[in-house]
Chain A
Amino acid sequence: MRTTTKIATVALGSAALLPFLGAGIAQAADGNTTATLRPVALNGVKANGTAMVTVSGTRIDVTMAASGLLAGSPHAAHIHFGADARHECPVAGDDAKGDGTINTTDGGPAYGPIVVSLTKTGDTSPKSGLAVDRFDTAPGGKISYERGSINVSSDVAQAITEGKAVVVVHGVDHNDNGKYDGETKSDLDPSLPTEATDPAICGVLNAAPAGGMDTGAGGTSTPNNEGMLLLGGGLLIAAVGSGAFTARKARNRV
């Protein structure tokens, strides 16, 4: 008897908890996010774009369009997130060395490390962060990128839906000679010039607005209008009937 009660209590207790657990998981997992990509401070790139990330559990779908980038050169593109980062794009004050540009090291405190590599094919893990042969080369300076079903950790998925992840497209032609070159090497890979990895455009993935809008004060709403209209219309139709009857009577009298 006592055992039965205990079991019943436990069962009831967990049943009561279930909906809350479910709600919590669903909330953390799904969402639509958009980043408007704007030129990174100091780096002087006249490019722009938009990235949209749809989060479904631990799967993300990404589309991105950008223009104004150095044409015909690989542009590494990533989603960045760091728990300790500021979850924003770097500002001029992040230029730690004071060399007048923002490189990848300067960007770290703002947006954190790479969590997803937005490659066109193959692996999308941070390991592919500099897989230059698999990134978009921006023909005509434009990127039109679409990639579905990228799997991420639940932490990353949650960071994206909470507006803490940042999309960065790299590749800055500082000296405007149409290619990546120069004496300064990349902080990430000394075999590459820093131009190839400096952040060009950047945007925080913001969660879409929740729900609709309250856009009316009711001044033109007349809740009883329909009833009034229906009744009035009905009466008018009845009037037509009785009017016809009257007319026939009148005609008959002549």
Chain B
Amino acid sequence: MSHPTKFGDRRGSIAAAVTVVLLLVGGALVGKAYSGTQSPPQPPAAQSAPSSAASASSSPGTTLSPSSSATTSTPASTSEFGPIMPPSSPISLAIPSIGVNTKGIVDLKLDKNGKLEAPQDFQKAGWYANGPTPGEFGPAVIGAHVDSKSGPAVFYRLGSLKKGAQVSVVRKDGSTARFVIDRVARYPKNAFPTATVYGDTNGRAELRLITCGGAFDQSTGHYVDNIVAFAHLIR
């Protein structure tokens, strides 16, 4: 048992006061950080690995003269394709694991620069209507906002989507296209892997879910990254 000294007492009460201040300020800061809306979940940024398709395509490799029109070097392969559905426009989208259940999917088109336009309505998802319909062979593309100016939008939680999660798209013909998530990645918009996202799907009917991510650039009014979820059709 140590003898309580005056000095010790004072030290104790100073410590107590410091504790109270620290608790108040720290708690307030944490509270403020979590108050209102939380930042949308982010998948890790994609490694700077370019798409295999892109790197393969950019290799000079076979340099036959451009004028030698239509000769062949590789025989056709008759590989087995995955399940494919006939075309039908999407009308609703459900992703139970992240609470997405959106109806009234709008058609999206390209702007004059060839860029895919986002839906006007923050609470609606859009489908790239010039591409394959969800369930058809190829990459069907559905995009939606992560947030509006005031709060979360349809794809707010897309970044927290996990591999294996189920996605279902109800289509105009009454059928449902069921997909399974393969991976979720985040790419800087200035290094967007076009070939990986919109290119050949190797014999499968696939789906791309796209929203925004990363930091918000106040000067442009846009997020700097895109979050892309890759999924394929299951039987």
The answer for the CA separation of A95 and B31 in the assembled complex, in Å, is 71
A36 x B136 contact (CB < 8 A): yes
> Which of A5-13, A188-196, A246-254 binds B?
A246-254
CB distance from A47 to the nearest CB of B (A): 9
A36 x B29 contact (CB < 8 A): no
B39 x A32 contact (CB < 8 A): no
A243 x B26 contact (CB < 8 A): no
Chain B neighbourhood of A144, CB < 8 A = 78-81, 203
Residue A50 interfacial (CB < 8 Å)? yes
Nearest A-chain residue to B220, judged by Cβ: A214
The answer for the CA separation of A59 and B72 in the assembled complex, in Å, is 10
Interface of chain A, helix or strand or loop or mixed?
mixed
Chain B neighbourhood of A208, CB < 8 A = 194-195, 197-199
B74 x A149 contact (CB < 8 A): yes
The 5 closest A-B pairs by CB, nearest first: A232-B29, A249-B12, A235-B26, A208-B198, A221-B216
> Which of A97-105, A171-179, A222-230 binds B?
A222-230
Which listed residue (B11, B79, B223) contacts A146, Cβ 8 A?
A: B79
A-side interface residues, number (CB < 8 Å): 82
Residue B179 interfacial (CB < 8 Å)? no
A232 x B30 contact (CB < 8 A): yes
A219 x B148 contact (CB < 8 A): yes
Which listed residue (B22, B53, B114, B211) contacts A239, Cβ 8 A?
A: B22
CB distance from A89 to the nearest CB of B (A): 13
B143 x A215 contact (CB < 8 A): yes
The answer for the CA separation of A187 and B156 in the assembled complex, in Å, is 56
Chain B neighbourhood of A232, CB < 8 A = 25-33
A52 x B138 contact (CB < 8 A): yes
Nearest A-chain residue to B154, judged by Cβ: A215
B147 x A221 contact (CB < 8 A): yes
Known: A149-B62, A156-B69. 14 other contacts (CB 8 A): A48-B86, A54-B199, A123-B71, A153-B67, A208-B199, A210-B114, A212-B228, A219-B148, A220-B156, A228-B32, A229-B30, A235-B25, A243-B23, A253-B9
Chain A neighbourhood of B49, CB < 8 A = none
Residue B4 interfacial (CB < 8 Å)? yes
Interface centre among A149, A206, A218 (most CB of B within 10 A): A218
B70 x A124 contact (CB < 8 A): yes
Nearest A-chain residue to B88, judged by Cβ: A48
**Which residues of A line the B interface, CB within 8 A?**
30, 32, 34, 36, 38, 48-50, 52, 54-59, 61, 63, 65, 67-68, 115-117, 119-126, 144-154, 156, 206-223, 225-226, 228-229, 231-239, 242-243, 245-246, 249-250, 252-253
The answer for the CA separation of A83 and B200 in the assembled complex, in Å, is 26
B118 x A214 contact (CB < 8 A): yes
B210 x A212 contact (CB < 8 A): yes
B-side interface residues, number (CB < 8 Å): 109
Nearest A-chain residue to B57, judged by Cβ: A56
Nearest B-chain residue to A163, judged by Cβ: B114
Which listed residue (B13, B26, B38, B151) contacts A236, Cβ 8 A?
A: B26
A220 x B37 contact (CB < 8 A): yes
The answer for the CA separation of A190 and B87 in the assembled complex, in Å, is 35
CB distance from B42 to the nearest CB of A (A): 11
Q: What string of 1s and 0s marks CB contacts (under 8 Å) between B34-78 and chain A?
A: 100111100000000000010011111011101111111111111
A217 x B145 contact (CB < 8 A): yes
Chain B neighbourhood of A67, CB < 8 A = 84, 86
The answer for the CA separation of A208 and B115 in the assembled complex, in Å, is 9
B143 x A213 contact (CB < 8 A): yes
CB distance from A126 to the nearest CB of B (A): 7
Which listed residue (A68, A213, A220, A233) contacts B38, Cβ 8 A?
A: A220
The answer for the CA separation of A206 and B109 in the assembled complex, in Å, is 12
